[in-house]
Structure 1
Amino acid sequence: MCDTVDSGTQVAIHELGNRDGEDQGWREDIKQGCSRFVRSCCTVKTAKTRLPILTWLPTYRLAWLFRDFVAGFTVGLTVIPQGLAYAALAELPLQYGLYSAFMGCFVYCVFGGSRHVTLGPTAITTLMVAEYVNGEPVYAVVLCLLAGCVQFLMGVLHLGFLVNFISFPVLAGFSSAAAITIATSQVKLVLGLKNIPRSFIKAVPTIFQKITHTNLSDMGMGIVCFVVLIVLKKLKEVDWDKKKGTLQKPPLWQKILRKVLWLFGTVRNAVVVVAASVVAYGLLTRGISTFTLTKEIKPGLPAFQPPQFWLVKNGTVVKNGPEIIQDIGVGLVIVPLIGFLESIAIGKAFARKGNYRIDATQELIAIGVTNMLGSFVSAYPVTGSFGRTAVNYQSGVKTQLGGLFTGILVILALAFLTPSFKYIPSAALGAVIISAVIQMVEYSVIPVFWRVKKLDLLAFFVTFFGVLLLGIQYGIALGVGVSLIILLYPSARPRATVYPASIAPDDVLIVQLESGLNFPAVDYMRDVVAKDAFKEKPYKNVVMRCCCVSDIDCTVVQALDQLIEEFEARGLKLHFSCMRPDIRAALVRSKIKGFRYFKTCEDAIAAMREPDQENGEVIMTDHALLSNIDTPNDDTPDNTPDNVPCTIHIPAVNVSKVTAV
């Protein structure tokens, strides 16, 4: 056997060894990166950030317990009737509204970063649930689990910034249209009508067609409940001290009366629902059944079990997991995004009032965990509620512990009060929802949009009418699309100022870019420059002042190269001035033929007018970028004001000749 190895085999063995070394280095890098990540996650600071209860619980004072109890109890009295009403809006059995009302109270107590925010069913999320689950509880629970997973992953991956692409005009248009849609859907309960479509565009004509079938008892109950709700709300908002116009302390009886009125105004939903139920029960005991009542509600607490990924009817599985997910469709994206956007907006608003900050990533995690765990108790997706958060704030809550008392009260209601819920008139629940959503119509922002930026009105009305006429997903998609077009349009049509001959010399045209230069604007900018440069008596030189250009890309570089060639073919020279060092360095590296740069417009014109010592004529001297700019690593900006037009003064200086780049 031969003991020698040929050179080719030696090279192959050497390369194989190098590959093994590279693989080991790659694996070692991954191992070290994972180790650093684990160490960073296992710190006290990270634990306090991701579990805010570790921050506020060690400093909890016993004196705060009573305030948290009062606030939690008050919010509980608010969420119970609202939960029942929102379940009716979602076309689900009423107990599902209460199933959705307590898990968020416990989870947010541990993971939530705001002491004021309360999680639970809201009008917006309920409308979206009604849109995508079609009255099927199985669909609602699956949507809750998957929406929670999406929100949790967004929090882990720090993707909360995505909701920033939904502008305020879009959000205002969506909430206004949603409020009108919700109120319209509840008119059927107030009037006692049956078989009214959920869609606004179909519901309105159907209501008018069936108006003659109105149940007068339901209509009377609904109107009375609505009026009482509005009156109690107004009494709660009265500033008695300001109204009296004095700083004297009121008598004790006045203080007690004001507190009672404030309490009744705060829990007005519970007051109205209880009173309406008492009236309906009293009439039933006398054999009078004039009101449309809610259906029998399943008593007791929900079982804690994994969500069911199949739909069973008459003992037969009619839908499996993939089919359910396919039926929900874009709701898996819209519900978690809108839910988070609603909650973070509420959290930031009350954080400003309470002089503290909240972390958007942590809020995503809190809402995600709430919905994931909520699906195990048959809840549908929840988010922060503005109305109940306001009640929490006005009740003087001190910490997130207030949510614990709210959750306990809801559980007690499920355990002991569900048999009495069957006496609640449907008209009363309809009045509760209508009174809650009418304040969501953002009509006051229209004058603001008109004064600040009229194009925002376009995004507002496109979203508004899109949601009303086409549905939630199409309305939001149209609104976001219009909003992005409004945002990107200045990039495609940047502003530019062309200085005439009265400012610049007769044969020099100066173009000042007053905004950035990106690839969508290349053709437009070429047309702007060529419009004045390529006339019957064209200019000999064009100076492009680029002080506002903050970024370029390959498309811009290619277009500038073509523009310089086109200018030279027509006998013109294109010059650049006032560039940022990083932009200049990028253009140097691109090696554009004939690229000329000067620090100021005056330097460029001085170079154009430099006398030739041999024939005494004024000729163009091509100045190279490399002799006229600082080194590419120099980040010192030019001392030329960015927003001041070039006033041309031709200095009497000689500029040395350098070969152009």
Structure 2
Amino acid sequence: MAEQGREAPGRCCSYHTVQRWLPVLRWLPQYSLQWLQLDLIAGVTVGLTVVPQALAYAEVAGLPVQYGLYSSFMGCFIYCLLGTSKDVTLGPTAIMSLLVSSYASQDPAYAILLSFLSGCIQLAMGLLRLGFLLDFIACPVIKGFTSAASVTISFNQVKNILGLRNIPRQFFLQVYHTFRRIGETRAGDAVLGLVCLAALVGLGVMKGHIPRIRRVELVSVRISRLIVWATATARNALVVLFAGLVAYSFQVMGSQPFTLTGETPQGLPPFRLPPFFKATANSTVPFSEMVQDLGAGLAVVPLMGLLETIAIAKAFASQNSYRIDPNQELLAMGLTNLLGSFVSSYPVTGSFGRTAVNAQTGVCSPAGGLITGILVLLSLAYLTSLFYYIPKAALAAVIICAVAPMFDARIFRTLWRVKRLDLLPLCVTFLLCFWEVQYGIGAGVLVSSILLLYAIARPRIKVSEQGVLLVQPASGLHFPAVESLREAVHRWALAVSPPRCVILDCTHVSSVDYTVVLGLADLLQEFRKRGVTLTFSGLQVHVLQVLLSADLEGFQHFPSLEGAARATLASPAEKGRGVDLDVSSQALLYDASCENMPPTSGLIQ
């Protein structure tokens, strides 16, 4: 034992342990020139996607456009060192931008502080290995939120497509004022926005129908397909570039029919502490008050960020046949948001669209993110002056095309066919998210939790005639389920005349708690008072140990159902009834998973 204790520190500092905390050490020794070529292509392709999207998502977050770029490079470098998926790219996303808009009050100081605090929470969760908490957010809740976010974000950009100003951000007010003021539409913005939408949709459809490039084909055919594929993949950058050139042309001619992005500060963001207080014209907002203002965002933003990243990482890991470490993903995400706040980043997460582009271009390692991060830094250093001419209508078109696929209309039909009860948390989340995001997510989690707790409190219990009365719980028994079990046993065994002996088949019972033990003790006492027996069969070892430790009076257990049936039929109460043992035949009297079945004639009098 002493030797093991001395060896423990060595194991903690072993190369394998270091590899677990720094996944870059796993793939770096295998890196090759071929990997470098593919990572370079993937990094450039994703970079051409992330720059226009970052500008657009900053608009969704209600922040100046440069903050989208400030949020786009730190994750590329951190994830290269700590990430366990070769495909995932971290950066601003539509959903996270919507959450930031909801909780940061369109104030960069609050957005940056939210990134810092979210990173701290995510790091703590990763170190404590609390990733399992995400399992309590059910799929219908996620689908309801993402579908509502798709509608909310898309409609939020309609004002930019139409060139309308001073439209409220609250969804219902936004709908009202947009239709009320639709007569103020700027023709230039509307035409350009619709043209950009059509181009993005057309290029997206084209990309989905490009055949795979095969080496047996002619070089000219392969090159032409590669050009078409590259054009479709970089469609966001090309459309934004086209719109910017059109706007610049009008500016040179002395007129400007479009609403432009405007001045963007040039240069890299300064590396400095996040704002732990905010100076206003008349006073200073202290750190404690800023935290209070962020409110539920300190829970919703870290959890939704982790949920989005891990879901994407798992999906692409399964598709490309490798494994990820969810808790390591938490650490990578947490450190990205924590360090990102020092360069004026708002909270980021994994991007499904850019991750898909990364995977489709054949990325071989997380090193592809380094190329993407360098492109973003170059854009900040040298290209921000050109962002002035980007029309807001073009960025709105990019956002709408990015978030539209998030609306999953099929999930409603699928749940109606598979399990209609799951439509309840889906619809509650979907509808309330139009009011406030936190209310929608909170209500959806609450409804799904109630459904889960109800299933625990009312487990499936079968009551059948098998020579004797057989009661079969279908799962673990926990304290909310005691009354349901007692009610079923009392109804079918003790409330009839004469009372029946019962075998409680616990084959499927995997756990019990102290309240269940007390409930079983009360049942045994009631059976003794009525002069009949309650016999247990098929108890698992750990469950049997719990019941034996409780020293229940009159407790009888048999490993098999046949042994329990023989012992029960040997009791005076059942001998008087003249019932024969026949464990091969079974008549179902009651199933708690169905509607209550009436007593079967001739079986229970």
Could you say if the C-alpha distance between residues 644 and 103 of structure 1 is closer, same or farther in structure 2, counting changes exceeding 3 Å?
farther
Alignment-derived partner of residue 17 in structure 1: none
Aligned pair partner of 1:531 in 469, 491, 508 = 491
Report the Cα offset of residue 97 of structure 1: 0.5
Give the stretch that moved more between structures: 52-61 or 225-234.
Answer: 52-61
Segments of 5+ residues of structure 1 without an aligned counterpart are 1-28, 621-640, 648-661
Retained in 1: the 8 A contact 2:535–2:568? Answer: no
Alignment-derived partner of residue 200 in structure 1: 171
Retained in 1: the 8 A contact 2:477–2:513? Answer: no
Name the Cα RMSD after superposition: 2.6
Work out the percentage of aligned pairs sharing the same amino acid.
48
Alignment-derived partner of residue 344 in structure 1: 310
Counting only pairs closer than 5 Å after superposition, residues 319-330 of structure 1 correspond to structure 2 as 319-330=285-296
Could you say if the C-alpha distance between residues 293 and 577 of structure 1 is closer, same or farther in structure 2, counting changes exceeding 3 Å?
same
Counting only pairs closer than 5 Å after superposition, residues 122-271 of structure 1 correspond to structure 2 as 122-240=93-211, 249-271=216-238
Retained in 2: the 8 A contact 1:577–1:601? Answer: yes
Report the Cα offset of residue 69 of structure 1: 1.4
Report the Cα offset of residue 37 of structure 1: 7.1
Alignment-derived partner of residue 593 in structure 2: none
Could you say if the C-alpha distance between residues 437 and 590 of structure 1 is closer, same or farther in structure 2, counting changes exceeding 3 Å?
same
Retained in 1: the 8 A contact 2:210–2:225? Answer: no
> Which whole-Å CA distance do the structure 2 matches of 1:583 and 1:196 have between them?
62
Report the Cα offset of residue 579 of structure 1: 2.2
User: Secondary structure of 1:308's partner?
Assistant: coil
> Which whole-Å CA distance do the structure 1 matches of 2:315 and 2:556 have between them?
52
Could you say if the C-alpha distance between residues 606 and 439 of structure 1 is closer, same or farther in structure 2, counting changes exceeding 3 Å?
closer
> Which whole-Å CA distance do the structure 2 matches of 1:603 and 1:550 have between them?
21
> Which whole-Å CA distance do the structure 2 matches of 1:392 and 1:142 have between them?
30
Could you say if the C-alpha distance between residues 48 and 282 of structure 1 is closer, same or farther in structure 2, counting changes exceeding 3 Å?
same
Report the Cα offset of residue 291 of structure 1: 0.8
User: Secondary structure of 2:381's partner?
Assistant: helix
Whether 2:477 is the aligned partner of 1:511: answer: no
> Which whole-Å CA distance do the structure 1 matches of 2:375 and 2:446 have between them?
44
Report the Cα offset of residue 449 of structure 1: 2.3
Retained in 1: the 8 A contact 2:210–2:229? Answer: no
> Which whole-Å CA distance do the structure 1 matches of 2:32 and 2:319 have between them?
22
Whether 2:408 is the aligned partner of 1:448: answer: no
User: Secondary structure of 1:381's partner?
Assistant: coil
Count of residues paired in the alignment: 581
Alignment-derived partner of residue 377 in structure 2: 411
Could you say if the C-alpha distance between residues 326 and 522 of structure 1 is closer, same or farther in structure 2, counting changes exceeding 3 Å?
same
Give the stretch that moved more between structures: 408-417 or 58-67.
Answer: 58-67
> Which whole-Å CA distance do the structure 1 matches of 2:462 and 2:245 have between them?
74
Whether 2:264 is the aligned partner of 1:293: answer: no
Could you say if the C-alpha distance between residues 217 and 528 of structure 1 is closer, same or farther in structure 2, counting changes exceeding 3 Å?
same
Could you say if the C-alpha distance between residues 474 and 40 of structure 1 is closer, same or farther in structure 2, counting changes exceeding 3 Å?
farther
Give the stretch that moved more between structures: 508-517 or 403-412.
Answer: 508-517
Counting only pairs closer than 5 Å after superposition, residues 284-433 of structure 1 correspond to structure 2 as 284-314=251-281, 316-433=282-399
Alignment-derived partner of residue 538 in structure 2: 578
Give CA deviations for 1:612-646 in whole Å, capped at 9, x if unaligned.
9xxxx9689xxxxxxxxxxxxxxxxxxxx9x9959
Give CA deviations for 1:165-219 in whole Å, capped at 9, x if unaligned.
1122211111111111111111111111122222222221221111121112111
> What code does the residue aligned with 1:493 have?
R
> Which whole-Å CA distance do the structure 2 matches of 1:320 and 1:77 have between them?
40
Alignment-derived partner of residue 494 in structure 1: 459
Aligned pair partner of 1:99 in 57, 66, 70 = 70
TM-score by length of 2: 0.91
Retained in 2: the 8 A contact 1:540–1:571? Answer: no
> Which whole-Å CA distance do the structure 2 matches of 1:609 and 1:168 have between them?
48
> Which whole-Å CA distance do the structure 2 matches of 1:589 and 1:581 have between them?
12
Report the Cα offset of residue 544 of structure 1: 2.1
Give CA deviations for 1:122-168 in whole Å, capped at 9, x if unaligned.
00111100011111111011111111111111111111111111122
> Which whole-Å CA distance do the structure 2 matches of 1:585 and 1:427 have between them?
69
Whether 2:40 is the aligned partner of 1:69: answer: yes
Retained in 2: the 8 A contact 1:610–1:619? Answer: no
Alignment-derived partner of residue 545 in structure 1: 505
Report the Cα offset of residue 493 of structure 1: 1.2
Higher RCO structure (Cα 8 Å, ≥6 apart)? 2
Alignment-derived partner of residue 591 in structure 2: none
Report the Cα offset of residue 536 of structure 1: 5.4
Could you say if the C-alpha distance between residues 566 and 431 of structure 1 is closer, same or farther in structure 2, counting changes exceeding 3 Å?
same
> Which whole-Å CA distance do the structure 2 matches of 1:241 and 1:112 have between them?
30
> Which whole-Å CA distance do the structure 1 matches of 2:241 and 2:205 have between them?
20
Retained in 2: the 8 A contact 1:148–1:369? Answer: yes
> What code does the residue aligned with 1:203 have?
Q
Could you say if the C-alpha distance between residues 593 and 194 of structure 1 is closer, same or farther in structure 2, counting changes exceeding 3 Å?
same
The structure that has the greater radius of gyration is 1
Report the Cα offset of residue 545 of structure 1: 2.2
User: Secondary structure of 1:299's partner?
Assistant: coil
Retained in 2: the 8 A contact 1:601–1:646? Answer: no
> Which whole-Å CA distance do the structure 1 matches of 2:192 and 2:43 have between them?
30
Alignment-derived partner of residue 53 in structure 1: 24
Give the stretch that moved more between structures: 124-133 or 489-498.
Answer: 489-498
